[in-house]
Structure 1
Amino acid sequence: MLCSIHKGTCSACVAAAGFLSLVGVCLLYLPDPFALEPRVSVSAQERPVTLLIWTHPFGRHQTLPDCSALRQVGGCTLTADRSAYPRADAVVVHHREVATGAAELPPEPRPCAQKWIWLNYESPAHTPGLWRFEGVFNLTMSYRTDSDIFLPYGYLIPRVRGAKHVPNRSTHPLHSPPRSHLLRPRLLAWVISNWSESHARVALYRQLRRYIQVDVYGSAGRPVPEDRGGGGGSGSVVRLLGRYQFYLALENSQHTDYITEKLWNAVLAGAVPVVLGPSRENYERFLPPEAFIHVDDFPTVRGLALYLLMLRRNPSRLRRHLDWRGGYSLHRPALWAEHYCAACRATRRTRGRTDVVKDLTTWFRS
């Protein structure tokens, strides 16, 4: 589903004297991808489609969703049974498995009018062998806003005043903290599972810790405390970050639109994210400008550290980074259920079209 982006009037957002100065409101709002079009309904003239999940991402099998119940997408049959290949309207192929040789591509020749969908949520730096798949796929699905089927790691939904929140495991109302809860017990945390000295984020951390205390969790630090239920995962990280004022949401590489769950964990926990990834302008397509602190806002790492310490001493300045929350809910698409439903919807919408993606490598690395 090619997502149209609605752009609001944008004032200048500038950094001055080493501190972030926010002028006006800059926000390129990304609406709910499933709300961009009217609900797709089944009619006598339009038969349902079958979507074959060729490779489960990273080999982790899961129960396939009911798209009608999950995202109000009707007329979709999902299956992981490869015997359905001859009659499938589209086949979803996760890049990692076919690129590493863990799985082969579906057999050729493909059934008439069948679409192959390229699914990938890794950054270009961690997406090998793209050249092998030039001219193979018909649709792309990723975190990039210019994908044929766009679904990011998370996105904000403006709250309508007076509207009641319908409980949903993936959608979370955000709240501005009351004055009595503005300051948190701990200052700055970083959770990291993939430590590499070649990453810019590791170099940043080594400089930052000279000026400010950074509590490190994960493979390179203390273990993340598990939830009481023992489930672990992002829920444990969010619970941990609830104790901290700031969080280092540092991506493993810097690429267009590559903004992962690291950012959204911080947003959900109410910690102000300090981000390293694409440009500030790119982040502002997903968030209000005051919702995060970009490392590029500061000429030096020392300037960044001083700004964080200043905010700690000045709650009124800190509040600028948190007051925006009252107007939004956060939606974090369920992996990979919502992705399959988005792919199924796109398959129905593009029925009969089998255009080929000719420049996969150039596009994804651009």
Structure 2
Amino acid sequence: MAVPTNMRTGAVLGGRRRWTKWIQWIIIVVVLGEMVFLLHLDQLNGEYFNFKSFAALNFSLDNDVEHRAEVIHKDDSVNRSNNESCEEWLEKNDFLGYGRNFSKSPIHVAFGENQVWDSCAVGCKFRSTVSESFRPDGVLRAASGLPSWMEKESCHILRSMESSSYYPENDLTSARKRGYDVVMTTSLESEVPVGYFSWAEYDLMSPVSRKTEGAYAAAFISNCGAHNFRLEALEGLKAQGVRIDSYGQCLRTREGRGVNKLQTLRRYKFSLAFENSNEDDYVTEKFWQSLVAGSVPVVVGAPNIDNFSPAPNALLHIKSLNDIPAVARQIKYLASNFTAYNETLRWKYYGPTDGFKALVDMAAVHSSCRLCIHIATKIRSREEKQLAATLKKPRPCKCTDKFGVITYHLFVRERGRFQLHSVFLKSTNLTTSGLKNAVFTKFKSLNHVPIWWDERPAVIRGDGTLKIHTLYPVGLNQRKALYTPHFHTDVEVSNYVEANPCPYLEVIFV
């Protein structure tokens, strides 16, 4: 029997309705999934990076290397095409897509002067206030008494240029125990050192003036209650026959009011650069002004003052009162020997050591910018861990060609910059010279201009040829970076590259 047309039509429509309902549910599920994804992406690209606890960020970057070795290392280069080099394959397959763009979403630091550091390698903004709508990545000098959300979400920063001898809270161990995530002091072991030195502030290569004063040395000391033996040292030198003109409040022999200190120092062969405490890396304007003036500094202060010397024989160091007779004899000898004295100032004419340039070059990037780079590096490292846990396919970090030669993928940036550049190192050339040549070749191909170029005096910039002073793992403090050898043997290079997939390195050019 024929089915009525209206019944056939109703059956078809009923089936369509059922399919329409299923399609609607499918669309709803897809839209909800898309919304969850976009919400997550928005959090990554938002105005601030919201971690439940910044303490989770406060890990050694060396640990990140270990994490990469355990989680995301896999050589999958067997799948590359025959015409593709290992370098090309790694460039294409060995990368991570990060969520936060620090140019569009800058690092925010609260309770500092309102300032935007436009020239910084990452977006970097300081503000004097905070609010629920402005949640900073970092908070200056505020380890307690903050809103609960800020206690959890922001890193806590201690910044001071005072000696820990006078301000014990500035001691690194003490500061970290009290909850500071980032310490900024004169110590080169702090996360972001804030030294008194810079090419911009001190005209270190200014010419030497004629020494016209009858006394050997000048002293400007006004704190007579220093936490060391500096007054005893001054009196001890006098007792040894060293003629000293004292312009300060302590043991004064010359009127110091209205005197231009720098111009005065230029007339003396020696300057008593006596600090108020003896603490590693605590080297204040007393020392740097002596160098500017071309007056040989006689130092009471930092035990490691030799690390700050522009040349091996450019200063005299009184480590204890027992040194006074020997230092007094040296002062009198140099003062009476024109040739020997000029040798102490030789660096003024021929340039300081590479080690000295590497130290002062650090200040070519302002400490506030270096703080933002440090925080951004921490955030990026944390994001890498999160991404590593969700990657469908681990990062390769290396590639093996048909001859069995392995190409290792390294990432290198200049100190003071944020962007990392790919550098490739062959297993047949895992040597000190191989590593340095690979880094040099990469940066030369980029026509790289050292970050200190505009800051350093023209007379010691050189001809523009890149020269590597040192290479070290990202995250190492500057004391170790500058004064502990890294990658100085072929075995060290080989062991490090093989044990640390996709290593992140920093280079200092001089």
Give yes or no for TM over 0.5: yes
Show the counterpart of 1:115: 155
The question of 1:319 aligning with 2:319 is answered: no
Among residues 294, 297, 306, which one is paired with 1:270 in the alignment? 294
Which is richer in helix? 2
Show the counterpart of 2:205: 174
Show the counterpart of 2:186: 143
The number of residue pairs the alignment matches comes to 269
User: Kindly tell me: are residues 268 and 155 of structure 1, through their superposed partners in 2, closer, same or farther at Cα, counting changes over 3 Å?
Assistant: same
User: Kindly tell me: are residues 140 and 223 of structure 1, through their superposed partners in 2, closer, same or farther at Cα, counting changes over 3 Å?
Assistant: farther
Show the counterpart of 1:20: none
Among residues 308, 311, 315, which one is paired with 1:286 in the alignment? 308
Q: Deviations over 1:221-270 (max 9, x none)?
A: 3554547xxxxxxxx42222122211111121212222222111111111
Which is richer in strand? 1
Show the counterpart of 1:338: 366
Q: CA deviation at 1:86?
A: 5.1
AA partner of residue 154 (structure 1)? F
Show the counterpart of 2:141: 93
Whether contact under 8 Å (1:176, 1:323) holds in the other structure is: no
Show the counterpart of 1:47: 105
Q: Deviations over 1:92-128 (max 9, x none)?
A: 118xxx8xxxxx6534442654111111222221123
Matches of 1:298 and 1:223, distance apart in 2: 27
Show the counterpart of 2:222: 193
Show the counterpart of 1:68: 118
Which structure would you say has the larger RCO, counting Cα contacts within 8 Å and 6 or more residues apart? 1
Whether contact under 8 Å (1:225, 1:240) holds in the other structure is: no
The question of 1:212 aligning with 2:242 is answered: yes
AA partner of residue 377 (structure 2)? R
Compute the TM-score of the two structures, normalised by the length of structure 2. 0.46
Q: Name the larger-Rg structure.
A: 2
The question of 1:79 aligning with 2:107 is answered: no
Q: Secondary structure at the match of 1:172?
A: coil
Q: Secondary structure at the match of 1:312?
A: helix
1:18-33 pair list within 5 angstroms: none
- Structure 1 unaligned segments of length 5 or more: list them: 3-41, 55-62, 99-103, 157-168, 228-235, 355-366
AA partner of residue 344 (structure 2)? H
Q: Deviations over 1:164-196 (max 9, x none)?
A: xxxxx435251564xxx5534252111112112
Q: CA deviation at 1:347?
A: 1.9
User: Kindly tell me: are residues 127 and 45 of structure 1, through their superposed partners in 2, closer, same or farther at Cα, counting changes over 3 Å?
Assistant: closer
AA partner of residue 136 (structure 2)? A
Matches of 1:333 and 1:251, distance apart in 2: 22
Matches of 1:243 and 1:332, distance apart in 2: 28
Matches of 1:84 and 1:188, distance apart in 2: 57
Matches of 2:255 and 2:132, distance apart in 1: 43
Whether contact under 8 Å (1:189, 1:244) holds in the other structure is: yes
Identity fraction in percent:
23
Matches of 1:212 and 1:301, distance apart in 2: 10
- Structure 2 unaligned segments of length 5 or more: list them: 1-59, 61-99, 383-510
Show the counterpart of 1:307: 330
Whether contact under 8 Å (1:190, 1:215) holds in the other structure is: yes
Q: Deviations over 1:253-302 (max 9, x none)?
A: 212222222111111111110011233xx222222221211124995423
Whether contact under 8 Å (2:204, 2:291) holds in the other structure is: no
AA partner of residue 244 (structure 2)? V
Q: CA deviation at 1:89?
A: 0.9
AA partner of residue 140 (structure 1)? V
Range with bigger deviation, 290-299 or 310-319: 290-299
Show the counterpart of 1:246: 270
Matches of 1:85 and 1:219, distance apart in 2: 51
